[in-house]
Amino acid sequence: MLKNIILMGPPGAGKGTQAKKLVTGFNLIHISTGDMFRDAIKAGTELGKLAQSYIERGDLVPDEVTIGIVKERLAQDDCAKGFLLDGFPRTIPQAEALSELSKEIKRPIDVVINIDCDKDELIRRISGRRVCKSCGAPYHVETMRPKVEGVCDLCGGELMQRKDDNKDALEVRLSHYVHDTKPLLDYYANLGLLKTYDGAMGSEKLFDELTKLIKGE
């Protein structure tokens, strides 16, 4: 069974939904860069303190610090049963460093899952998102409508559209994603680790496909 996984995909492709299903279904440790930074800072590790100094200044955390924190986290005992990396790596140097450190700690990456999706479908999905101002419950104007338009079913709060969920903002986000991510996809394809799936096939069908991949069926 494949157990050490990198999950990639543009905003709106369904990556978050599949991450939750995979973590639960295969008892994997879900690791995001945000989680790693918070854990390292909370634990008071030297790398955590260093990362905090950059974050508090509003600066980006350098690759070498991020990579060090990833190594600390992946080396922990709970990752022995398998992990799902989400949001890392973001650059070729990070990917190269991850390749080396994962071999060093004898937990090499087994597969890189890329959930892709047509641009028009991504725009439809994201521009239709709504969220409750009060409790944060998610809705969608087409696929997850509230009982009363503009009103949260759970708490009666007002529904809103996030500023970055409009078409223009999404165009910018997707442009950055394609620019930053394509080199990584090529990198992992050359290593024979990349598996790409269509995020438009539906959540349940996609999870079935990913399950077959991970089980080696």
Residues annotated as catalytic are: 15, 90, 129, 162, 173
- Using DSSP, state whether 166 is helix, strand or coil: coil
The candidate with the shortest Cα–Cα distance to 9, out of 117, 143, 100, is 117
3-state secondary structure (DSSP) of residue 193: coil
Neighbour-count burial of 209, counting CB atoms closer than 10 A to its CB (0-12 exposed, 13-18 middle, 19+ buried): middle
**78 phi/psi in degrees, rounded to 5:** -65, -20
For residues 193 and 212, what is the distance between their CA atoms, to the nearest angstrom? Answer: 16
Beta bridge partners of 7: 86, 113
- Are the C-beta atoms of residues 130 and 23 closer than 8 Å to each other? no
Which helix (H) or strand (E) segment holds residue 174: the answer is helix 167-190
The Cα 69–Cα 73 span in angstroms is 6
Contact 84, 23 (CB under 8 A): yes
Q: Rounded to an integer, what distance in angstroms lies between the CA atom of residue 165 and that of residue 55?
A: 25
